[in-house]
Amino acid sequence: MIHALLRGIDRLVSVPAASAHCDIPCKIYDPSAAQIAALSVIRFMDLINELGQKDSLTLADQALLARLVEQKESHAEKAKHEIRIIWGDYIKQPQRDAYPDIDALVHSIMLAGSACKQGIERDKGEKLLTLINEFAAAFWDTKGVTTFTATCPYPPSETVVYPKLD
Amino acid sequence: MPIGLYRVNGLSMSPGLAPGDYVVTLKRWKSRYRIGDIVVAQHPQFGRIIKRIRAIQPDGMLWLEGTHPDSTSTDKMGLMRREWIQGRVIRSIFQSTM
């Protein structure tokens, strides 16, 4: 009631606004950033394993290896971060009701992401992507958007869940 | 003016404060601010903002933060002078959820 009164006063004399300023517009949630990060992780694993085929590494190879490892880890972290944002800011009770396992799924993505930081085994990257694809399918479904799977048209040519936007 | 009334815009103070809520602020002479206080401040770049006090330096300068992860970051807002603080929120009037 006090709020309604204040709103009335606000309409008459215009109460000054105090901005709870955000860096980015809210309500923009899209799991594609996490999917691309997971694809990048797999790609970096492939490139690292390619280097592993060599008998010996030159200084330049070693420098490249250091870069690839660093990028693999930061992209695994980025995938975790992007999922956490959607989970923390977008997923609320209605989405939980529709997907009761969503918390467990997000937790398994966190673990899979960490495993990708620790190791260079491709199957760890594939697992991360699979789980994030599962999350993406659930996410789009909560928004009433249907999805389809396709092979991404670039390396590492893995299966990705995409929203069908007509 | 010691007492201020402001309408909240933006989401960076959610879930505590949502857009459309009103806040009443109080500024006393030699107001003592504490970490965790919600304050309205005049920021040289971002204009009038509402944020939470994250830290207070021994020299009295303040660091602010939002309560939402998307908030403009503490680092970006930078160090705040006490004079820029327009008051501490003493009362929030929430938009009734329908």
Residue spans per domain, chain A: 26-163
ipTM: 0.84
**Average pLDDT, integer, range B33-50:** 93
Compare CB distances from B7 to A15, A26, A89 and report the shortest one's residue: A15
Question: Min CA distance, B68 vs chain A (Å)?
Answer: 8
Question: Can you tell me whether residue B54 is helix, strand or coil?
Answer: strand
Q: Give the number of other Cβ atoms within 10 Å of residue A77's Cβ.
A: 16
Residues A40, A108: Cα–Cα separation, whole Å? 19
- Asked whether the beta carbons of B23 and B50 are under 8 A apart, the reply is yes
Q: Quick check: B76 contacting A, CB < 8 Å?
A: yes
Task: Find the CATH number of the domain harbouring B56.
Answer: 2.10.109.10
Chain A residues closer than 8 Å to B10 by CB = 19-22
The pLDDT, as a whole number, for residue A49 is: 97
- Note whether residue B22 is domain-resident: yes
Other beta carbons within 10 Å of A5: 11
User: CA of B67 to nearest chain A CA: how many angstroms apart?
Assistant: 9
> Quick one: pLDDT at residue B72?
85
Alpha helical stretches, state H, chain A: 2-13, 32-52, 59-85, 93-98, 102-118, 122-142
Alpha carbon A90 to its chain centroid, in Å, reads: 13
Q: How confident is the model over A84-104, as pLDDT tens digits?
A: 999 988 898 889 999 999 999
Considering only B10-19, B43-52, B85-94, which range has the smallest mean pLDDT?
Answer: B10-19
Rounded-to-integer distance, Cα A123 and Cα A142, Å: 29
Give the number of other CB atoms < 10 A from CB of residue A159: 12
Q: Is there a domain that residue B98 lies in?
A: no
CB of B80 within 8 Å of a chain A CB? The answer is: no
> What's the pLDDT score for residue A28?
76
Q: Does a structural domain hold residue B69?
A: yes
B68 within domain boundaries:
yes
Low-confidence winner among A4-8, A34-38, A145-149 (lowest mean pLDDT):
A4-8
**Is B49 inside a domain boundary?**
yes
CB contact under 8 A, A19 and B48: yes
Q: Each residue of A40-80: pLDDT tens digit?
A: 999 999 999 999 999 999 999 999 999 999 999 999 999 99
Structural domain count, chain B: 1
Mean pLDDT of B64-92: 90
Report yes or no on B80 lying in a domain: yes
State which residues form the domain around B25: 3-93
Residues 54 through 73 of chain B touching chain A, CB cutoff 8 Å: 66, 68-73
> What is A26-163's CATH number?
1.20.120.400
Q: CA A147, CA A62: separation in Å to the nearest integer?
A: 41
Top-confidence residue, A123 or B95: A123
